[in-house]
C-alpha cells in the first residue's frame, strides 16, 4: 500500500520560495509507492493548485489558517485521523509550525517532518510564544541550509536538504539571450535585474535607490523587477516619483524565469533577511554576477560570481559596485564560461533537483 504523505506549506500556495520548492520536488520525484497530498491552507493561487493536480497530487483545501485557526486545527486533526496519514511534512520559517505538527501528533501521525526555510521569522512575537510547543513536536528536522537549521532547531540535530532545481535549464545560451532581449524591447543596453516577491523583506525600495544612482553613471541602463507582490503599487509609485518609468520594468510573475535570466547582465538581492535563496543559485547557473545583501547566508555563494554587501554601506556603495560589475562583465564567451563552471559546482553542493528529490523520497518511505 502506498504511504500517505501530507505536505503542508504554512504560508499558502503562491509562486514564491517555499511553493516553488514543493513544485520542483513534485515535478522531479518518482512517487511510486507514495500518495502525496498538498494542503492549501490560505492565500492560495489557483494556477498553483491546478499545476499540483496536473502533477498527480491531491490538493486538500482547508479552513483558512489565519482567519479560522480553530476550524483549521479541527479539520487537520480529523482529516489526518480519517485518512490515516503516514507522514506529515510541514514547511515554514518559524516555530508557528507547531500548530500543524502538534495536530499531526494528536492525530497519531508517527512521522512528522519540520522543514525550515529561513533564518528569522517575520512574526517574532508569535515565534517566541510558540517555541516551547514547537520543541519536540517533530520526529525529523530538515532545513534548506545550515543557517536556517541552526536558527530554528537550535541544538537539535537536523539534515540539510537543499531546494534543488533543474540546473541545465538555466545554462547560458547566447541565442536565447538575443531572443529575450528582442521580446523585452531592448538591445545592447546594460540590464540589471531582481527576481522574487515584491515585499518589504526583499527591499525593492533600496534597489530603486541604487538604480537611480547607477543610471547616472551608466547611460541607457535598464532595471527589470521580475515578480509580483503586495508592495508592487508602492514600488511603482517610487519609480514614477524618481522619474525612472522609462528605464524600469516590472514584468509581474513569469513562468519562464530561466529564459529571462539570459537577457540580464547583473542581479541584485538587497533583502533584509533570507534563508538560502534559490534565486541566487539560479543566477549563478546562468553565469550572472550577483550583488547580495550580507544578511543572506554565505551558503548561497557556490561560485565567485556572488559578492556580499552590507545594506549599511548605503545605496551609493551598492551603485558603485554595480557599475564596476557591469564594466568587468565580458561578452557572451565569458558568460558561457562562467555558466559552465557554475553547473558542476552547484551539482557538487547538492543543488541538483534530481538527487534532492531522490533523498526526499527516501525520507518519505521511512529510510534513514
Considering the domain architecture, whether residues 154 and 173 belong to the same structural domain is answered as no
Considering the domain architecture, whether residues 127 and 217 belong to the same structural domain is answered as no
Q: Output the pLDDT for position 326.
A: 97
Q: Is the pLDDT of residue 15 over 90?
A: no
Q: Is the pLDDT of residue 1 over 90?
A: no
Q: In whole angstroms, what is the distance from residue 280 CA to residue 315 CA?
A: 20
Considering the domain architecture, whether residues 189 and 131 belong to the same structural domain is answered as no
Range of the domain at 54: 3-164+352-364
Q: Output the pLDDT for position 122.
A: 84
Considering the domain architecture, whether residues 140 and 225 belong to the same structural domain is answered as no
Considering the domain architecture, whether residues 121 and 195 belong to the same structural domain is answered as no
pLDDT tens-place string over residues 339-348: 999 999 999 9
pLDDT tens-place string over residues 71-97: 999 999 999 999 999 999 999 999 999
Q: Output the pLDDT for position 212.
A: 98
Q: What is the mean pLDDT of the chain?
A: 96
The number of domains in the chain is: 2
Considering the domain architecture, whether residues 7 and 126 belong to the same structural domain is answered as yes
Q: Which three cell numbers stand for residue 82?
A: 480519517
Q: Is the pLDDT of residue 227 over 90?
A: yes
Can you spell out the DSSP letters for 177-188?
Answer: HHHHHHHHT--S
CATH number at residue 79: 3.40.50.2000
Can you spell out the DSSP letters for 81-150?
Answer: HHHT-SEEEEEESSGGGHHHHHHHHHTT-SEEEEEE--SS-S-HHHHHHHHHHHTT--SEEEESSHHHHH
Q: Output the pLDDT for position 36.
A: 98
Considering the domain architecture, whether residues 65 and 184 belong to the same structural domain is answered as no
User: What share of the chain in percent tops pLDDT 70?
Assistant: 100
pLDDT tens-place string over residues 36-68: 999 999 989 999 999 999 999 999 999 999 999
Considering the domain architecture, whether residues 24 and 114 belong to the same structural domain is answered as yes
Considering the domain architecture, whether residues 343 and 356 belong to the same structural domain is answered as no
Rg of the chain over all Cα atoms, to the nearest angstrom:
21
Considering the domain architecture, whether residues 292 and 185 belong to the same structural domain is answered as yes
pTM for the model stands at 0.90
Among 131, 68, 54, 51, which residue's Cα sits nearest to residue 98? Answer: 131
Considering the domain architecture, whether residues 239 and 297 belong to the same structural domain is answered as yes
The 3-state DSSP class for residue 267 equals strand
Q: Is the pLDDT of residue 210 over 90?
A: yes
- Per-residue pLDDT, averaged over 172-199, amounts to 96
Q: How far apart are the first and last CA of the chain?
A: 20
Considering the domain architecture, whether residues 356 and 337 belong to the same structural domain is answered as no
Amino acid at each position: 500500500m502506498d504511504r500517505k504523505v501530507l505536505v503542508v506549506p504554512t504560508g499558502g500556495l503562491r509562486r514564491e520560495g517555499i511553493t516553488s520548492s514543493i513544485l520542483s520536488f513534485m515535478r522531479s520525484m518518482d512517487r511510486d509507492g507514495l500518495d502525496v497530498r498538498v494542503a492549501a491552507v490560505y492565500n492560495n493561487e489557483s494556477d498553483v493548485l491546478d499545476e499540483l493536480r496536473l502533477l498527480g497530487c491531491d490538493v486538500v483545501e482547508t479552513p483558512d489558517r489565519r482567519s479560522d485557526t480553530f476550524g483549521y486545527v479541527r479539520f487537520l486533526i480529523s482529516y489526518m485521523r480519517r485518512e490515516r496519514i503516514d507522514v506529515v511534512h510541514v514547511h515554514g520559517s518559524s516555530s508557528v509550525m507547531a500548530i500543524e505538527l502538534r495536530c499531526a501528533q494528536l492525530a497519531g501521525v508517527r512521522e512528522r517532518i519540520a522543514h525550515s526555510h529561513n533564518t528569522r521569522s517575520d512574526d517574532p512575537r508569535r515565534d517566541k510564544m510558540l517555541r516551547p510547543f514547537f520543541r519536540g513536536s517533530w520526529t525529523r528536522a530538515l532545513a534548506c541550509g545550515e543557517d536556517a537549521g541552526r536558527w530554528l532547531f537550535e541544538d537539535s540535530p537536523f539534515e540539510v536538504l537543499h531546494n534543488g532545481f533543474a540546473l541545465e535549464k538555466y545554462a547560458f545560451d547566447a541565442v536565447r539571450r538575443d531572443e529575450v532581449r528582442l521580446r523585452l524591447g531592448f538591445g545592447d543596453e546594460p540590464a540589471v535585474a531582481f527576481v522574487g516577491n515584491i515585499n518589504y523583506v526583499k527591499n525593492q525600495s533600496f534597489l530603486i535607490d541604487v538604480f537611480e544612482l547607477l543610471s547616472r553613471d551608466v547611460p541607457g541602463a535598464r532595471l527589470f523587477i521580475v515578480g509580483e507582490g503586495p508592495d508592487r503599487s508602492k514600488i511603482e509609485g517610487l519609480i514614477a516619483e524618481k522619474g525612472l518609468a522609462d528605464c524600469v520594468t516590472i514584468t509581474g510573475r513569469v513562468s519562464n524565469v530561466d529564459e529571462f535570466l539570459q537577457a540580464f547582465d547583473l542581479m541584485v538581492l538587497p533583502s533584509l533577511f533570507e534563508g538560502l535563496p534559490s534565486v541566487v543559485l539560479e543566477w549563478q547557473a546562468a553565469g550572472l554576477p550577483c550583488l547580495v545583501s550580507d544578511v543572506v547566508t554565505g551558503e548561497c555563494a557556490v561560485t565567485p560570481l556572488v559578492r556580499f554587501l552590507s545594506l549599511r554601506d548605503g545605496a551609493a556603495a551598492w551603485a558603485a559596485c554595480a557599475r564596476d560589475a557591469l564594466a568587468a562583465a565580458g561578452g557572451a564567451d565569458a558568460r558561457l564560461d562562467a555558466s559552465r563552471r557554475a553547473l558542476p559546482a552547484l551539482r557538487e553542493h547538492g543543488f541538483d533537483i534530481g538527487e534532492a528529490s531522490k533523498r526526499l523520497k527516501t525520507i518519505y518511505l521511512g529510510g534513514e
